[in-house]
């Protein structure tokens, strides 16, 4: 899989893809993440990529020309399953979406900035709009990193234990059960005895029951799905 991220502030994405699981996934050749500076596609002498909004109002708008230039170049080099725009009014990212995208092909992620992008970009160049939550960030870069992380960790071979992702919170519409590690007794705080029993079926049953109860308490809406 290849993920191309288009942004006018590429340095904001240096850290998320340079460490931990996302870096190891790239080093293994399981995914390729390429960040593109939108200013490289500006035809303006000042390399500007935004302009004032028609009709007035506060804030600048990312122009269609450099965005179209970048997307067209990329699509001329390879096939893409999705061209995604990170937007607060897009489809809300959840585990089901991450699962679907992780088994797809190459994708382009466009990061908005300022007051957003020219509406013609959304109408004619974008295939999917994604939001990571009902709030507004300064730009789409952090959202793009979140989306990419949620997808990449599901690619076979990325995690050292491939079954780990299958037991994550939100898989099967349940939050994860409580987990413990050594020591079993810390200042009188004791790990549940069942986890020390070595009885795999009973442990799995306990974990499932804990997931259901925790979901009822903390995220009951998940059970409606």
Is residue 113 helix, strand or coil? strand
Is 91 contained in some domain? yes
Distance, in Å, from the CA atom of 90 to the CA atom of 131, rounded to the nearest integer, reads: 5
Instruction: Give the chain's domain count.
Output: 2
pLDDT at residue 168, as a whole number: 67
* Domain closes at, from 109, 124, 152: 152
Domain around 183: 169-224
- Contact between residue 34 and residue 2 where contact means Cβ atoms under 8 Å apart: yes
Phi and psi (nearest 5°) for 130? -130, 140
pLDDT at residue 100, as a whole number: 96
Give me the residue label for tokens 């007051």: 115
Is 140 contained in some domain? yes
DSSP conformation letters of 31-43:
-EEEEEEGGGG--
On whether both 135 and 175 belong to a single domain, the answer is no
pLDDT at residue 165, as a whole number: 66
On whether both 80 and 140 belong to a single domain, the answer is yes
The CA–CA distances, whole Å, from 185 to 16, 17, 106, 177, 181 equal 36, 38, 48, 19, 10
Tally DSSP H helices, then E strands, for the chain. Answer: 6, 9
On whether both 13 and 98 belong to a single domain, the answer is yes
On whether both 31 and 119 belong to a single domain, the answer is yes
pTM of the complete model: 0.90
The CA–CA distances, whole Å, from 190 to 68, 121, 181, 194, 202 equal 59, 57, 11, 11, 18
pLDDT at residue 162, as a whole number: 61
pLDDT at residue 160, as a whole number: 79
On whether both 32 and 83 belong to a single domain, the answer is yes
CATH number of the domain that residue 20 is part of: 3.40.1280.10
Closest CA to 6 of 76, 102, 72: 72
> Which residues of the chain are modeled with pLDDT < 50?
none
């Amino acid at each position: 899989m290849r993920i191309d991220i288009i942004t006018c502030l590429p340095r904001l994405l240096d850290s998320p893809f340079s460490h931990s699981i996302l870096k190891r996934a790239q080093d293994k050749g399981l995914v390729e993440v390429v960040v593109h500076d939108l200013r490289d596609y500006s035809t303006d002498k000042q390399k500007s990529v935004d302009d004032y909004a028609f009709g007035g109002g506060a804030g600048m708008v990312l122009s269609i020309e450099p965005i179209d230039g970048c997307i067209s170049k990329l699509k001329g080099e390879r096939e893409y399953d999705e061209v995604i725009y990170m937007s607060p009014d897009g489809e809300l990212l959840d585990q089901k979406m991450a699962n679907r995208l992780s088994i797809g092909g190459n994708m382009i992620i466009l990061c908005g900035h300022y007051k957003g992008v020219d509406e013609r970009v959304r109408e004619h160049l974008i295939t999917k709009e994604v939001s990571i939550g009902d709030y507004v960030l300064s730009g789409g870069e952090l959202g793009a990193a979140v989306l990419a992380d949620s997808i990449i960790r599901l690619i076979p071979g990325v995690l050292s234990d491939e079954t780990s992702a299958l037991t994550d919170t939100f898989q099967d519409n349940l939050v994860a059960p409580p987990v413990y590690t050594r020591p079993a007794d810390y200042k009188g705080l004791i790990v549940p005895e069942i986890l020390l029993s070595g009885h795999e079926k009973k442990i799995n049953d306990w974990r499932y029951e804990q997931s259901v109860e925790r979901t009822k308490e903390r995220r009951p809406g998940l059970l409606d799905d």
